[in-house]
Structure 1
């Protein structure tokens, strides 16, 4: 049996590569993004970036790096990070960064299980997953062992965040590591700090059975808002924002 440390809404999005106005496969994807919106406490919105542009393979117990990119209090601030952008470069002139596109949503839990922690979720939408969900490895239900990297510990060359991009944690969270390079995601307040790095390890397809939690009930408790309502995207902006679908956009 596991102890639920945090629960809330989870949203999966992908950011197309620069200049790609229409995505047809994973090759045109730049980043896989996850938004966690807790139901209790300060209810901050956390934007996570997952390495390798997809979730870890469950059966192979893949280990993928991820980090907290942005933490905001107001939905409008998060929408600003997800919207399209035009920017100039010296060599290629003006470049277009397409908006992040929603691909799945549901409910999540961070749980303590024995001496480690899990991030588990169950999808509410889309009802029937399609090619983007399959290629991004977004299962209808899954759990991942999650550990947080000590920001004061060195990283291998070419891996992880560097310099000021790394998190500066308050003393009570930094003390959780002691002399270790990694620690469980306990408390989940680690996620309230941009630059926190973590490792996700594929654990189980049936998270409810593995962890002894009722994810069906979590989904039922979830707010019935879509990502558009939760991020306060207005009607005029919704006409420009991609809708959640089981097809690449």
Structure 2
């Protein structure tokens, strides 16, 4: 059995590439974003970025990198990270990047299981996942072993954030590493610090069975608001089809 360390709402969004007003495949996606909104303790929202613009493949036990991009106390503070952007360039003039588009939502748990920690989730929307969810590898339910990288340890070439972008952890968290490069995500407050890097490893499609937790009950508790209400982002400038009907847009 697992011990639940934290639970809350989870939201997935994708950021289209610059100039791509209509997305038809993963090729037109720049980033996959994940927002974690815990239910208890100090209310906060954490914005995570998936390193390969999709989640790890469960069956292949893929190992993917991700990092905490921002930690805020109010949804309005995510506005800059999720809004549309206009860029002025000398060669190509003004360039437009659409706002981040919601593609899935549900409930998540961070659990301690044996000597590991897991991030597990189950979706509430879309009811029927389609091409966006399949290509981004957002499963209806999934579990990932998650470990946190020591911000004072070097990363392999071409992987991870540059030194100036890494987290500066308080002493009580930094000392948990000792001489190790990675530790479990225990406590989850590691994620309360921008620049924290982690590794996700796909482990199971049926997270409830693997971890002995009731994700159905978690989703029922999460069904109070949609991503539009919770993050206070406008529907007018963001297509709802990816979230509601499982279609690229």
The 8 Å contact of residues 116 and 145 in structure 2, kept in 1 or not, is answered as yes
Distance 2:102 2:205 in 1: 22
The answer as to whether partners of 1:99 and 1:241 remain within 8 angstroms in 2 is: no
Give 5+ residue unaligned stretches, structure 1.
Answer: none
Offset of residue 157 of structure 1: 1.3
Q: With the length of structure 2 as denominator, give the TM-score of the two structures.
A: 0.95
Output the aligned Cα RMSD: 1.7
Residues 190 and 173 of structure 1: is their aligned pair in 2 closer, same or farther, counting only changes over 3 Å?
same
- 1:67 maps to what in 2? 67
Structure 2: runs of 5+ lacking an equivalent: none
Work out the number of aligned pairs and report it: 249
Give the conservation status (yes or no) of the 8 Å contact 1:14–1:103. Answer: yes
1:84–1:242 CA distance, 2 compared to 1 (3 A): farther
Asked if 1 retains the 8 angstrom alpha-carbon contact of 2:46 and 2:71, the reply is yes
Please, which moves more after superposition, 156-165 or 116-125? 156-165
Residues 99-129 of structure 1: CA deviation (Å, up to 9, x unaligned): 1000000000000001110000000000000
- Give the 3 Å change call, closer, same or farther, for CA 210–76 of structure 1 in structure 2: same
Deviation at 1:26, TM superposition (A): 0.5
Residue number in structure 1 paired with 2:5: 5
Distance across 1 between alignment mates of 2:210 and 2:52: 26
Report the CA distance shift for 1:240/1:55 in structure 2 as closer, same or farther (over 3 A): closer
Structure 1 residues 171 and 66: CA distance shift in structure 2, 3 A: same
* 8 Å Cα contact 1:101/1:244 also seen in 2: no
Q: In structure 1, what is the Cα distance between the partners aligned to 2:217 and 2:187?
A: 23
Q: Runs (4+) of structure 1 moved beyond 4 Å?
A: 234-244
The Cα offsets for residues 113-164 of structure 1, whole Å up to 9 and x where unpaired, read as 0111000000000000011001111110000000000000001111110122
Supply the distance in 1 between the matched residues of 2:166 and 2:118 (Cα, whole angstroms). Answer: 23
Tell me if the contact between 2:241 and 2:248 (Cα under 8 Å) persists in the aligned partners: no
Which residue is 2:155 aligned to? 155
